[in-house]
Amino acid sequence: MMTLAIVIPCYNEEAVLADTAAEVTAIMRDLTGRGVIAADSFVLFVNDGSSDGTWKLIERLHAELPGVKGLNLLGNVGQQNAIMAGMMTVRDRVDAVVTIDADLQDDISKLEEMIGYYHDGCDIVYGVRESREVNGFFKRTTARLFYRLQRALGVKNIDNHADFRLMSRRALDELSRYKERVLYLRGIVPLLGLRAAVVSYRFRERKAGKSKYTIGRMVNLGVDGITGFSATPINYIIGAGCLFLVVCFFMVLYILWSFFMGRAVSGWTSIMLSMWFIGAVILLSIGVIGKYIANIFAEVKRRPLYHIDTFLD
């Protein structure tokens, strides 16, 4: 039997955590009782610098429920780094890890199906949302466009996959070799090249509390996901620059023609062309290149992804 760890990142999830722990531990007991997973399998809650009573609740759950462990991070490091902290902490003591959000909108009942693919030889099993009807129109539409944009820019991704996945110890060992500071697991994991499978499920309503993924956080994650894995935007900027050079050549001909024909106020046309065309290109170029420089800045500092305060084993 395999030893399994379920890693659950938590940020201000006090309202939903008790229900999450009850549902996950019940499934773990059922799988253990039927011999699907080993008795030393466990759940690890990773507290990502919560400002509410999340950590105190994790401590209580650890004391009351067998097979519940806790990892408290010093400060909020973000969901991706919190997931990485949990996986790297337990990878030497388990055969596989499943990561899932604390709100359990992802369907934890698909756990046994994931384990089945693991026994069939898959090192990675992706949980893929077959329906996002619980999300509003705006979020569904932007998510769909984002996945398409990533693929168009050369980023490997799995449609409608977030962070609900199973990874074997072999996959975790390979993942540990990736040292980047700007972490985007949804892009890194497909790069491992290991045998993978997909499990589909229906996205569920959140039981309590509010989503911590604001529009700003989703935009930042999306930008990191593109700039961290693809140089295609830079190539588009180069192409746009060449296009504007061609346009400017013809505009110069038009300006000269207007000047010699007496149809232009001296200096006005050239000033406006410079302000609107060249200015827009420069600003856009600076923005894209600046993002790459920011990522390079984060990489060269080599700061640790997380700092562990307490590990309840």
Question: Any idea where the domains of the chain sit in the sequence?
Answer: 4-210+308-312, 232-301
The confidence score (pLDDT) of residue 165 equals 96
Q: For residue 297, how many other CB atoms are within 10 A of its CB?
A: 11
Contacts of 87 (CB under 8 A, 6+ apart): 7, 97, 99, 167, 172, 175
Question: Average pLDDT for consecutive 10-residue bins of the chain (313 residues)?
Answer: 96 93 95 96 97 95 95 93 96 97 91 96 94 62 74 77 94 90 87 92 72 66 72 75 77 76 72 74 78 76 71 81
pLDDT (0 to 100) of residue 128: 92
- 4-210+308-312 to CATH, choices 3.40.630.30, 1.10.760.10, 3.40.190.10, 3.90.550.10: 3.90.550.10
Distances (CA, A) of 93 to 31, 80, 102, 107, 172: 19, 21, 22, 25, 12
Alpha carbon distance 303, 275 (integer Å): 41
Compute the distance between CA of residue 265 and CA of residue 281 in angstroms, rounded to an integer.
25
**pLDDT at position 134, please?**
56
pLDDT score recorded for residue 300: 77
Structural contact between residues 90 and 5, judged by C-beta atoms closer than 8 angstroms: yes
Is there a contact between 16 and 103 (Cβ–Cβ < 8 Å)?
A: yes
Report residue 200: phi and psi, to 5°: -95, 150
Predicted pLDDT of residue 214: 61
- Identify the pLDDT of residue 135: 59
CA atoms of 9 and 114, how far apart (whole Å): 20
Task: Give the rounded distance of the alpha carbon of 190 from its chain centre.
Answer: 12
